[in-house]
Chain A
Amino acid sequence: MSIINLHLKIWRQENSKAQGRFVSYESGPVSTDMSFLEMIDVLNERLTLDGQEPVAFDHDCREGICGMCGAVVNGHAHGHKNATTLCQLHMRHFSDGDTIVIEPFRARAFKVVKDLVVDRSAFDTLIASGGYVSVNTGGAQDGNAIPISQKIADQALDASACIGCGACVASCPNASAMLFVGAKISQLALLPQGQPERAKRALDMLNTMDLLGFGNCSNERECEAACPKNISIRHIARLNREYIKAAFLSD
């Protein structure tokens, strides 16, 4: 373990209506064993003791599985490490004296609530518009009653790894939610349980995405590169396929 000192430039914004601005802070001594969020925790403790407003940021599990945390660090959603959420980004990846610029995820569909906290309820709206399967009747049946090949199950599981953190939207040059929607559509289109609502799901989820003010995908692959769960843009291709098929062939 070693100790580093960092110059921080953090986006501070009182509320969604207020004008935000960058404020510079000195991190003070930071252990390289800390996570990025712990580094902000330490800063916040000091700010609180000094009678200042601590930096608001989202977090929950702090083990990279809940999708709650996230900020843009030096231009990278969740920081520069590949396949890592912000909470799992450790300070050993930074050097003494580095300047770190921390901004909230930026998108018209993600309003800044305060400082680094953004409202990602647009993702909940998307899920509610079709990212589910309806099982309306009967008791639970045997798990092996519906056969599925390992290959398909693997692909569906890969898509289901999406934690809905919003890094795809944050990193997309067009603030598009195609990777998120693609992962959800893929996961359910691959599984037998997703078949009854397959076409309706593709149409409803994509139309909802358009209405929520996300941009259009221009196949820049930034989302795939920034995704902490390595979701492939192959799922975006499947979403395109599902949507085109549903638009032209479904009843």
Chain B
Amino acid sequence: MNITHFFASSVGKKAIMSLTGAMLGLFLLTHLAGNISMFFGRESFIAYAEHLHSLGSLIHLFEFGLLIVFILHVYYALMLFFENRKARPVRYAVDRSSGGSTYASKTMPYTGAFIFVFIFVHLMNFHFTDHSISIADIVRNNLQNPLLSFYYVASVFALGMHTSHGFWSLFQTMGINHPRYDNFLQQGAIVISVIGAAIYSSFPAFTYLFKSFLL
């Protein structure tokens, strides 16, 4: 079978969702690990940021790769979403869960859309902004705003919901499911998402609550 045909099939499209989702997930974990340097004080956070920028073209290459992965994830998500809606033209009058789906799994397209908007806001706040001041001050200027700080916490919550289903789902899609470890993967996805979201939301929360944070 021709490879383009594979990526046009339902399993192929989902394999793309799964693989790009895994890459975005790995990026999230790396981003999280880097941001933890905020808790080691202003100097270490700035040092971390400068260290990243000193990578030069390597970092641009990585950014470009990430953009491609992100576009693929969103493009295929939209395609699958509309195909899936079309597969049931007449909806049920009474639609109840039989017990399989979770709140997170049901809301994947919506949490995804929420995250999509957040990424634009986040990039406008931190990437396409005046870099003549230090990154620590950019964080403080943005996240001491209560509305923006709350929006960041809410977005991180949506992200945690999204990955709590996604981190398990991507294994299932790639055919990795075994009675011995499937439960571990399902619970693990939730645990990682809860811990990740808790740490991520601590950055806007700390910046807003403690006025001397990163000073």
Contacts and interface: CB of A to CB of B under 8 A. Distances in A.
A220 B106 contact: yes
Contacts of B108: 218
Contacts of A22: 93
Interface string B1-27: 101011001111111000000000000
B90 to A, nearest CB: 5
A159 to B, nearest CB: 14
A103 B94 contact: yes
B56 interface: no
A220 B95 CA distance: 14
B180 to A, nearest CB: 11
B92 A106 contact: yes
A75 B94 CA distance: 5
Interface stretch (B81-89, B121-129, B153-161): B81-89
A195 interface: no
Contact of B179 (A80, A109, A234, A236): A234
A78 B206 CA distance: 51
Given A75-B95, A218-B108, A210 B10 contact: yes
Interface in A113-172: 171
A244 B174 CA distance: 8
Given A106-B88, A109-B87, A220-B101, A250 B94 contact: no
Contact of A217 (B3, B10, B93): B10
| Residue in B10, B91, B169, B179 with the greatest tally of chain A CB atoms within 10 Å | B10
29 contacts: A72-B92, A75-B95, A108-B89, A174-B87, A175-B87, A176-B10, A176-B84, A206-B9, A210-B9, A214-B87, A216-B14, A216-B84, A216-B87, A217-B10, A217-B14, A219-B169, A219-B172, A220-B106, A221-B100, A222-B98, A234-B177, A234-B179, A237-B177, A239-B11, A242-B175, A244-B174, A247-B9, A247-B11, A248-B6
A203 interface: yes
Interface in B131-170: 165, 168-169
Nearest to A202: B11
B153 to A, nearest CB: 27
Interface of B: 1, 3, 5-6, 9-15, 80, 83-84, 86-101, 105-106, 108, 165, 168-169, 172-179, 182
A240 interface: yes
Contact of A220 (B13, B86, B100, B174): B100
Given A247-B12, A248-B6, A213 B101 contact: no
A183 B89 CA distance: 26
A176 B87 contact: yes
Contacts of B5: 247
B175 A77 contact: no
B88 A174 contact: yes
A74 B98 CA distance: 11
Interface string A96-108: 0000010100111
Contacts of B177: 233-234, 236-238
Given A206-B9, A216-B13, A219-B169, A175 B92 contact: no
B105 A77 contact: no
Interface residues of A, number: 55
CB-CB nearest 7 A-B residue pairs: A241-B175, A75-B96, A221-B100, A215-B87, A237-B177, A174-B84, A225-B100
Contact of A218 (B6, B91, B96, B169): B169
A209 B14 CA distance: 15
A213 B84 contact: no
Contacts of A109: 87
Interface string A49-80: 00000000000000000000000101111001
A179 B6 CA distance: 20
Contacts of A218: 80, 84, 105, 108, 169
Contact of A225 (B9, B95, B98, B172): B98
Given A173-B101, A218-B80, A218-B105, A240 B11 contact: yes
A48 interface: no
A90 B178 CA distance: 34
B93 A103 contact: yes
